[in-house]
Amino acid sequence: MKVKLIAALGNPGKKYESTRHNVGFMILDHLAEQFSASFIVEQKWSVATAAFDLGETRVILAKPQTFMNNSGEAISAVKNFFKIANADILVVHDEIDLPLGKIRMSFDASDAGHNGVKSIIEQIGQDFHRLRIGVDGRQSRLDMDTHDYVLQNFTTEEEDALKTKILPEAQGEIKKFIGY
């Protein structure tokens, strides 16, 4: 059976649950719900995982509980345990360099200044897929420091866009990656 890993970047805990930085976690929660998969926390790996089978493919969802900047540790542990090739890994994360609602799939090694992606590259190397979810809804970058901005909750209007446009579109891209 082929194994694919869908890993989302975010920060654990209620405080960060609805922030822009956690859009990856939100997308995986939505996907897990659709496939009736439940997350359990794997303490030894510092990661919450869920799994489901689609035909001949086992899909593992992973939400590192190490905080964003150390995400690579948890993803590396899951990758090594299940012997998953980097080409079978998709990392879903927020992208401040894309406007809110813009989604980009890529296969590259650039961290583009994202500390979570940088941590993954340091731990497992390059050549994994990335689903970058645009979260920048500011009128100007002068409105708020980027670090503070990504830790802000989405506005009510942005939450509506998340539910009606962003989550379904991201889910479509993930399903293509899985081969569903």
Question: What residues are labeled active site?
Answer: 21
Give Cβ neighbours of residue 132 (< 8 Å, ≥ 6 apart): 93, 94, 95, 98, 103, 104, 105, 106
Q: What's the CA gap between 133 and 12, in Å, rounded?
A: 19
What the block records as the tokens of 9 is: 């970047």
Largest CA-CA distance found in the chain, in angstroms, rounded: 50
Short-list 20, 9, 121, 107, CA closest to 65: 9
Q: What's the CA gap between 18 and 128, in Å, rounded?
A: 26
The answer to whether 58 touches 48, Cβ cutoff 8 Å, is no
Residue 129, SS3 per DSSP: strand
| Residue 173 identity | E
